[in-house]
């Protein structure tokens, strides 16, 4: 098996990936809090770690991949009150929307998709465990985690507190330490609440992930529960630090052997954030650009880098992806043979080096150029065409783009009404050709051309694209 290297955020260096069990990789990604539609930040994280999923699979690993849904949270409760809807109504709606968005972005299915509300027993058990060890303690308003009881607290992020995190930790004079965080928030008036042995209430955010990992993914016989824990860079502290600490104190195991974090998506130089009011919803982008183009764009920079979103760069990405599909048009209806070994190895080698998409994309650009040159010289070379098709299929398998129909790709943005008009004209042209009225057939082709529609006669019928 080829060597794979990833940047481990906690170690602040690139390390070789060695799975806890041979040929198996267990991965957990912090998923969305489902109170609103997906934005480009959600897409960035999903695509980055979908790439990780694909690369490990391409290297022969069995990947067990979990992404949670936080479906109980202050923001969700606020949304309930604003819209006069139940918790289930709000969360079901936004989970459905999120899953639809992920499908459009060609995200591989998850092995597990745990919801916080469906794993409350696991959270309560972990909290009771921590209470029994006096690592957790009760106050009037919550059950808190005592960070001073964990001598390794801060070792993941290399920080134990900061001003920003303190703002998210509720002030309570009964707390032992200012950095202590809530494991369970006791019931308040008009709040969402669940029964427990230590008092009615609801879980804190951090305990949710720790408990769901232990229940659905964790090895019980290893020093680490899972191989890789992933999430946005903003989650490193305090969320992931608190997760790691809880798990360490409750189970005696470390949570994850490796930690990976994706960079931010910035708009106008500011981190995308609901609170800043600059969140760019994915659904708005997808009205003008296909999911495939958005995916290509977000993959074109290192997953660790911050991206300054702008439509000009998105358009550049589209034009770059167009070139791949123009090659695909030239080998339309050809069946794949075997992927070129050198091409496969060079692309995979790039991706095995901390998911280096920039380098992988440069190899794909070279493949596009050389394919066009070879097809110009040998337009009827079937062996050549079959290999090109196989290479494109490999690109789709490992990077998640290039898998659409070569002509349908160029039909994006055409309205249903216009599609019907185009199909009607194509039918009339076919009828004219059948009646040997070639003048009328040519006239219809010209009419389609004036609408920026180009057509191609194939053995499977007429195909068209919007120019």
Same domain, 15 and 138: yes
What backbone torsions phi and psi does residue 136 show, to the nearest 5 degrees? -110, 155
Residue 258 within any structural domain of the chain: yes
CATH number, position 100: 3.40.50.620
| Residue 306 placed within a domain | no
Q: Are residues 207 and 253 in the same domain?
A: yes
Residue 162: its pLDDT value, please? 55
3-state helix, strand, coil in the chain (%, to 5): 50, 20, 35
Question: Is residue 293 a part of any domain in this protein?
Answer: no
Paired with 356 in beta bridges are none
Do 349 and 253 share a structural domain? no
Please check whether residue 382 lies inside any domain of the structure.
yes
The pLDDT score that the predictor gives to residue 459 is 76
One domain, residues 70 and 161? yes
What span, in angstroms and rounded, lies between the C-alpha atoms of 292 and 106?
7
Rama region for 30: left / alpha / beta (φ>0; ψ in -120 to 50; rest): beta
**pLDDT of res. 166:** 44
Same domain, 137 and 254: yes
Q: Among residues 146, 57, 173, 37, which one has the least CA distance to residue 109?
A: 57
DSSP 224-268: EEEEEEEEEGGGIIIIIHHHHHHHHHHHSSEEEEEEEEE--EEET
- Render pLDDT for 31-70 as a digit per residue (tens, 0 to 9): 999 999 999 999 999 999 999 999 999 999 999 999 999 9
Residue 385, domain member (yes or no): yes
Q: Is residue 49 part of a domain?
A: yes
- Domain limits for position 444: 414-466
Q: How many helices (H) and strands (E) does the chain have?
A: 15, 15
How far lies 265's CA from each of 104, 168, 307, in Å?
19, 22, 5
Same-domain pairing of 93 and 15? yes
The distance from CA 122 to its chain's CA centroid, rounded to whole angstroms, is: 26
- DSSP β-bridge partners for residue 260: 230
250 and 183 in contact (C-beta within 8 Å)?
no
Task: Show the low-confidence residues of the chain (pLDDT under 50).
Answer: 163-169
Q: Are both 404 and 419 inside the same structural domain? A: no
Q: Are 394 and 434 within one domain?
A: no
Q: Note whether 357 and 404 are same-domain residues.
A: yes
- Among candidate residues 358, 379, 408, the one where a domain is terminated: 408
Q: Are residues 386 and 440 in the same domain?
A: no
Please say which residue of 366, 387, 408 terminates a domain.
Answer: 408
- Is residue 172 situated within a structural domain? yes
Residue 168: the pLDDT is: 46
- Tell me the pTM: 0.94
Q: What is the Cα–Cα distance from 54 to 52, expressed in whole angstroms?
A: 6
If one counts the domains in the chain, the total is 3
Same domain membership, residue 238 and residue 215: yes
Are residues 132 and 245 part of one domain?
Answer: yes
pLDDT digits (tens, 9 = 90+) for 227-249: 999 999 999 999 999 999 999 99
* Among candidate residues 408, 428, 449, the one where a domain is terminated: 408
CA distance 131 to 133: 5
Residue 276 lies in a domain: no
Q: What is residue 209's predicted lDDT score, i.e. its pLDDT?
A: 97
């Amino acid at each position: 098996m080829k060597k794979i290297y990833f940047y481990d955020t906690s170690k602040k260096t690139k390390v070789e990936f060695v799975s806890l069990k041979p040929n198996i990789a267990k991965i957990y990604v912090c998923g969305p809090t489902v109170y609103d539609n997906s934005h480009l930040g959600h897409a960035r994280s999903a695509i980055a770690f979908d790439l990780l999923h694909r690369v490990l699979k391409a290297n022969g690993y069995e990947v067990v991949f979990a992404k949670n849904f936080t479906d109980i949270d202050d923001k969700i409760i606020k949304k309930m009150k604003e819209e006069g809807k139940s918790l289930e109504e709000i969360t079901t709606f936004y989970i459905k929307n999120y899953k639809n968005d992920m499908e459009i972005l060609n995200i591989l299915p998850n092995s597990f998709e745990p919801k916080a509300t469906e794993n409350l027993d696991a959270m309560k058990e972990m909290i009771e465990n921590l209470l029994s060890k006096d690592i957790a303690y009760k106050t009037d308003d919550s059950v808190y985690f005592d960070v001073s009881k964990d001598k390794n607290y801060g070792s993941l992020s290399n920080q134990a507190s900061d001003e920003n995190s303190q703002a998210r930790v509720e002030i309570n004079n009964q707390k032992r330490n200012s950095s202590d965080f809530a494991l369970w928030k006791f019931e308040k008036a008009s709040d969402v609440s669940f029964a427990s042995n230590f008092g009615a209430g609801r879980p804190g955010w951090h305990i949710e992930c720790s408990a769901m990992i232990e229940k659905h993914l964790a090895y019980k016989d290893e020093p680490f529960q899972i191989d890789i824990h992933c999430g946005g860079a903003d989650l490193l502290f305090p969320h992931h630090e608190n997760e790691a600490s809880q798990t360490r104190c409750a189970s005696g195991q470390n949570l994850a052997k490796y930690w990976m974090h994706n960079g931010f998506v910035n708009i106008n130089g500011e981190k995308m954030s609901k609170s800043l009011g600059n969140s760019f919803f994915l659904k708005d982008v997808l009205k003008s650009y296909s999911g495939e183009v958005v995916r290509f764009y977000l993959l074109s920079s290192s997953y660790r880098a911050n991206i300054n979103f702008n439509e000009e760069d998105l358009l550049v990405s589209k034009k770059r992806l167009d070139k791949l599909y123009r090659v695909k048009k030239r080998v339309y209806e050809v069946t794949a043979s075997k992927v070129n070994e050198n091409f496969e190895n060079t692309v995979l080698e790039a991706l095995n080096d901390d998911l280096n998409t920039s380098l992988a994309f440069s190899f794909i650009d070279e493949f596009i150029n050389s394919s066009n040159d070879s097809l110009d010289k040998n337009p009827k070379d079937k062996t050549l065409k079959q290999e090109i098709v196989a290479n494109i299929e490999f690109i789709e398998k490992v990077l998640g783009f290039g898998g659409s129909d070569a002509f349908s790709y160029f039909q994006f943005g055409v309205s249903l009404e216009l599609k019907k008009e185009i199909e009607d004209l194509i039918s009339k042209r076919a009828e004219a050709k059948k009646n040997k009225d070639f003048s009328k057939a040519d006239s219809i082709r010209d009419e389609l051309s004036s609408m920026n529609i180009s057509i191609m006669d194939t053995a499977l019928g007429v195909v068209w694209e919007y120019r």
